Each structure stands twice: as structure tokens, then as C-alpha cells.
Amino acid sequence: MARGVVPLSDTKIRQAKPREKPYKLFDGGGLYLYVSPKGAKSWRMKYRHPVTKKDQTITFGLYPGISLKRAREMREEVRSALIDGLDPKCPAGEEVRFRDLATEWLDLQKIGNKHRRFQRGRLDNHINPRIGDLPIDKITRRDVARVLTEVYAAGKEETAGRLHSIITSVLRYAVARGLIEHNVAADIDRATLIPPPEKKHLRTITNPKEIGHFVQAVKEYPGYWVTSRALLLQLYTATRPGEARGMRWDEIDGDLWHIPAHRMKMKRPHTVPLSVPARQIIEEMRGFCGDSEFVFPSPFSKTRPISNNTVNVAIKRIGYGDKLVAHGLRSMFSTIAHEQSGFPHEVIEAQLAHATGSEVSRAYNRAEYLDERRKLVEWWAGWLEGLA
């Protein structure tokens, strides 16, 4: 019993009057009486989930239907279940629903809030309406297949694939918890049941003459000047649109640009060598908006960078909307570099921050290829300038 908590008595409980707001009368050990503004008195207990370690509340019932003595007995039953590693809401022998276990599984995932919201939405919108109320040990391969095929038939091919991953993970967790013996979702051949959608290639241009016209059009862009500079910087560095748009002054170190892991797609830090034209763009921006933390600030606020929509709108305004998207600049670099630069594939891939090889070899390659990548970006800048 918690120190300083005076155990309740029937007299004190009977004398408890409703107030404007609900309040609690504590008995110790997590047990308390919840008194509502209408006068209803219910027994509740706060405890820590044995797996997720998150605080939970269980309701025993209304007083006096559940007496003080019985409420204390139920408290001890909960404690006993917790000692055995069981969730009191789903004690041994009782059926555990898919939706409840899925929530428990999601709580354990070490993911960002945005990803968690997406996963929660997929559960609530697609999975739980179909199998959420089924006992975890009664779910069959046919049940899982029905979820996937119905979503796939609705034209949501990519979503169906993600749902299969979620269901498989939840059932794998159920196996680990000892709730089921076999993961039926793992038996499903995803590629056969729900073939992946045809891969869409990003629009790009690779004809040298057309690339030259594009570069000149960007330099002469009549809109927000910062946007054209961000586009050129992305072109010279072959970085992703978000990486270029979000460039910060504290990431620049001479002729190197150190992008932190949290801004990279693969969540690994990436060092980008800067060619002479790229450094000239950065110096131009320093004189224009060096008081912002961003090299390419939004026209509406210096506290945030320009948006991805701003960049793609600029591409459309200069007449290349049907031929190119911002991300396609990387494809342009990759194609030309592989065909004309003479640099090894590994060096080009390292510049693109593509994941190749083992973790150890990737760390080695980042250091080993830096000098070669310096030469590569200078070659690329010279190739682009030669088109003018």
C-alpha cells in the first residue's frame, strides 16, 4: 500500500458526495473509488502493463454492487496476474482480440510519431473493421487474405502490401507472447495474392541539349529567386529534393556539406562534396538570407525552408512539368555519370547515398570514396556548364 494513503471505509464511501467535477478516493495499491458529478461510484485500479510498461486503468464495477472487500480482493487478483506477466484485462484462458493485441504491439514499436499515426490509421481504417474483433487464436489464413484482397481490389495496391506487413508483425508478436503457435500471415505469398503495382519511373531528361536548355531556364526563372538557387544546388549535388531544400548553414563546412542522419532517407549521416558552382550558390545565398538558419528560406517565413511544392511548381512554370520532377534530377545525374563520367558505379552510388553492401562496407566506402566524389562533382559541374 502506498505510503500516506489512509485505507477507505464503508462509512467514508457512503458519505462521499458528488462534486462539480469527478474526483477519486484512494485505497492504496492502485485501487481507488471514482466519484462522478452525478454521484455514481465505481471501483478502478491503475497499474503498469507488464509488456508495454505503460500505465493502464481497469474498472471493476459500481459500488455498492462491488463491495469494498470485493474490490480489494480484485486488486490482489490483478497484482497476481501482473506478477505472472499477464495483462489483467486479458487474463490467461480468456480470448484476446486482434485489435487489442495490435495496439499493444504498436505501443512497443520504436518509431516516429508520424509513422505511428500512419500505422494506427491502417489498423483503424482497414484491418480492425475486418478482423479486429476476432480472437487472435481464431484468425485463419483466409481471414488475412480477405483483408488484403478487398483492399487490393479497391485500387490500393501499395496499402494492401503494407497491411500484410502489419498483420504479419502482430501475429509474430502473438507467437512470441505464447498466444498462438503459428503465424498464418507468414504463409501468404504476397507477390502471388496481391502483385506489387508496376514501378513508376520518375520523370527526367537525359538528352544533353535539352538538359542545357533546362539549366538555362532555371537560371532565368522569373519567380522567387531562392527557388532557382535551390534547384541548381540540388542539380549540382545530386541530392534529394528535401535534403537540398532543407540545407542549413550549420551543415556547411568549407567544401563539404554534412547532412545529419535525421534528414536522410536511410537515416544515416551523409557528407556531400561541394563543387565550385555549388559553393558559389551557397555564398550568393549567404549574402541574401544569412540571417535565416536555412540556406533556402521560404518567402513567407525565414524560420522554415521552401516547400517541395514550390520547387515542382517552378519546374512547371519553366515548361518542364511534363518531362521532369525535382527527384528526377538524381536520375539525370545517375544516367549521365554512369554513361559518360568514367567513374566507378560504387562512387556514383556513394554520391547518391544509396545503400549498397554491408553496414561495415558502407562506412568504409563513405570515407574511401570522398576524394573520388570530389572529382566526380567537379566533373559533373563542368559537364553541365559545358552545355551552355
Burial group, residue 243, by CB count within 10 angstroms (0-12, 13-18, 19+): buried
Nearest to 295 by CA among 281, 307, 308: 281
* CB distance 227 to 310 below 8 Å: yes
Which residues are tagged catalytic? 240, 265, 327, 330, 354, 364
Does residue 63 come out as left (phi exceeding 0), alpha (psi in the -120 to 50 range) or beta? beta
How many CB atoms sit inside 10 A of residue 174's CB? Answer: 23
What is the rounded distance in angstroms from the CA atom of residue 212 to the CA atom of residue 219? 11
Give bridge partners of residue 253 from the DSSP assignment.
256
Does residue 196 come out as left (phi exceeding 0), alpha (psi in the -120 to 50 range) or beta? beta
Question: Per the structure block, which three cell numbers stand in for 141?
Answer: 489464413
Give the start-end residues of each E strand in 137-255: 252-253
